Copies of this chain bind each other. A is one copy, B any other.
Amino acid sequence: MLYLIGLGLGDATDITVKGLQAVRSCSRVYLEAYTSVLTVGKEALEEYYGKQLILADRDLVEQGADEILENADVTDVAFLVVGDPFGATTHSDLVLRAVNAGIPYKVIHNASVMNAVGCCGLQLYNFGETVSVVFWTETWRPESFYDKICKNRKAGLHTLCLLVCHLVKVLIIDFRGKKIYEPPRFMTVSQAADQLIQIIHRRREEGEELGMTEDTVCVGVARLGSDDQMIRVGTLHQLVSCNLGAPLHSLVITGRLHPLEVDMLRLNAEPNALENLHMIDSSVYIS
């Protein structure tokens, strides 16, 4: 059996009891180690689970899947994923390989940023399409995430922006074909807000009608689900100068707001962050 087990979002104790029982019963346990991160490292997990963990980097998962699945028809193998195995990153490829090899699989779910972000007070069913924000380079400055945010806002919906996080160095091939290893790094709420403001400035100069502005109410979240999580509600402009500390960070751009959502946002709001909200109809707010 191949177990795909979500570790949740905080520390070693955020695994479910069912997940922990499965980990302890497996003969090999892999830890997916390139898309996300807990607030504790591999060693802390090994000590808590009482199991040695094998780090699975992108190469191992994408090219070495046979190694992960070896003998999984006769023994139990666990593949641990921060968050949920089918959260922001899915592991469909590994599942399909298992099925093709006649290996049964079982998913043990857990919280992911995709649902835990609801704790900021915005209703999950009012979110539109999720977007990803990557680091710009001198020659590559994609803006498609801004257009998706505006489309969501036009429909009254909030947008969860997943901010890029490389836990290991990443090979990038630049436009001249030169190989560059980008160091491990993660995008902060401040950096994401700054990129958005640059897009808004550029579009404003071009005379485009803007789907969001520097005054749009946004929510920065860091280390969601951990004991030291931070939630900061401010205008996009205010969030440029916020410092939310260690990874992971995510950013939410609000759409239409129900009064109960506004009350929840107020719990973590910067001074005057909500003063630009205006009522549009039957006590629905927008910024």
Residue ranges of A at the interface with B (Cβ–Cβ < 8 Å): 6, 8-11, 13-18, 20-21, 84-88, 90, 92-93, 95-96, 99, 107, 109-112, 114-116, 118-119, 121, 123-132, 151, 155, 157, 162, 225, 260-261, 263-264, 267
Give every chain B residue within 8 A of A118 (Cβ-Cβ): 84, 86-87, 90, 114
Q: Please judge, given known A-B contacts A88-B125, A127-B129, whether A110 and B16 are in contact too, CB under 8 Å.
A: yes
Smallest Cβ-Cβ distance to A225: which chain B residue: B109
Q: Which residue of B lies closest to A162 (CB)?
A: B125
Docked complex Cα distance between A119 and B119 (Å): 23
Partner of A8, one of B109, B123, B132, B263: B109
Q: Report B-chain residues with C-beta under 8 Å of the C-beta of A116.
A: 84, 86, 109
Identify A155's interface contact among B10, B151, B267, CB under 8 A: B151
Closest B residue to A84 using CB positions: B115
Whether B125 lies near A129 (C-beta < 8 A) is yes
Which of chain B's residues has its CB closest to A109's CB?
A: B111
Are the C-beta atoms of B119 and A125 separated by less than 8 Å?
no
Per assembly, the copies of the chain total: 2
**Which residues of B have CB within 8 Å of A111?**
6, 84, 109-112, 115
> B8–A86 contact, CB under 8 A?
no
Most buried by B among A6, A8, A20, A157: A8
In the assembled complex, which residues on chain B have CB atoms less than 8 Å from the CB atom of A119?
85-86, 107, 109
Q: List 11 A-B contacts (CB under 8 A).
A: A9-B109, A13-B18, A16-B16, A86-B115, A86-B124, A90-B121, A90-B124, A92-B261, A93-B260, A109-B115, A114-B115
Residue of A11, A107, A124, A264 most packed against chain B (CB within 10 A)? A124
A121 contacts across to B, CB distance below 8 A: 90, 92, 95
Q: Which residues of B contact A93 (CB under 8 A)?
A: 260
| Top 10 A-B pairs, shortest CB-CB distance | A86-B118, A109-B111, A125-B130, A13-B18, A115-B115, A13-B17, A109-B116, A114-B115, A112-B115, A86-B119
